[in-house]
Amino acid sequence: MENPNSKISLKAGERLDDLNRNGYMIIQNKDKFCFGMDAVLLSGFADARPGEKVIDLGTGTGVIPILMEAKTEGEHFTALEIQEESVDMARRSVAFNELDSKIDIVKGDIKCATEIFKKASFDVVTTNPPYMNDNHGLKNPEVPKAIARHEVLCSLEDVIRESALLLKPGGRLYMIHRPHRLIDIIFQMRVHKLEPKRIQFVHPYIDKEANMVLIEAVRGGKSMVRVEEPLIIYSEPGKYTKQVLEEYYNA
């Protein structure tokens, strides 16, 4: 059997992780920032239909577009990321998985997304933005992790504003965030003419409060939202629930 590592040159601190979809792998650096369950959940919650063009804002190492290419029928996926190291890893992961014709990794700032791409040019936007503003949480002293987790280089409003401008009328935004920011999220969506249509709370255990929330919003949509059945991640420590295994890991 061919050694997958022979197809790619890994840099110091990097590793090649199995995404458990279509045989796809992803390059990550344990000392920088590795994707978590939130990225997996967003890639399963989001939908891309035949012929649709998708952009992922703040893609990190490119896990969401790679997973969505495997899980959906979207025509093409673009990913925007500001950190050079993450862009480099994402591009090499795309090349390793032979997805160059389906996924483009672009280096750039979310705040300037509509200067990089045409307005109203995407059917779907996905984003797993920094969760913490200056009033919540301690900033990680390691810069790549701080940028990924805190609103250091862009704010929640920046992400929602640019998402709305990039979407075609009727286009869909899919976001994962923290429940304590839900009012801020809905307020900013309404300001920028995005109407929340689906909300799903994510709980680590059935008896624990939600620690993530998934949201779908439609540009110019009518006012009506559906709160879906909560998603429970673990049935016991280290063991995923049947719901997670079936919906997100094809088990």
Rounded Cα distance between 214 and 47, Å, is 13
Q: Residue ranges of the domains in the chain? A: 15-36+46-193
15-36+46-193 CATH: 3.40.50.150
**Helix/strand/coil (H, E, C) string of 149-187?**
HECCCCCHHHHHHHHHHHEEEEEEEEEEECHHHHHHHHH
Evaluate if pTM is beyond 0.95: no
Which of these ranges, 123-127, 140-144, 222-226, has the smallest mean pLDDT? 140-144
Please state the φ and ψ torsions of residue 242, each to the nearest 5 degrees.
-60, -40
Return the structure tokens found at 101.
Answer: 């014709």
Give helix 63-71 / helix 37-45 axis angle, nearest 10°.
Answer: 40
Q: pLDDT, tens digit, for every residue of 162-178?
A: 999 999 999 999 999 99
pLDDT at 108 over 80: yes
Rounded Cα distance between 22 and 211, Å, is 29
The arithmetic mean of pLDDT across residues 65-88, rounded, is: 96
Q: pLDDT, tens digit, for every residue of 11-30?
A: 999 999 999 999 999 999 98
Return the structure tokens found at 93.
Answer: 């992961």
Q: How far is CA 13 from CA 9, 28, 29, 165, in A?
A: 12, 8, 5, 37
The arithmetic mean of pLDDT across residues 6-10, rounded, is: 76
In this prediction, residue 136 carries a pLDDT of: 44
The 10 Å CB-count burial string (b at 16+, else e) for 118-150 is eeeebbbbbbbbbbbeeeeeeebeeebebbbbb
The arithmetic mean of pLDDT across residues 238-248, rounded, is: 90
pLDDT at 96 over 90: yes
- With tokens 């249509």, the residue in question is 197
In this prediction, residue 33 carries a pLDDT of: 82
% of the chain surpassing 70 pLDDT: 87
pLDDT at 151 over 60: no
Which of these ranges, 9-13, 91-95, 182-186, has the smallest mean pLDDT? 9-13
Rounded Cα distance between 50 and 72, Å, is 8
Average pLDDT, the chain: 90
Q: Are 10 and 27 in contact (CB under 8 A)?
A: yes
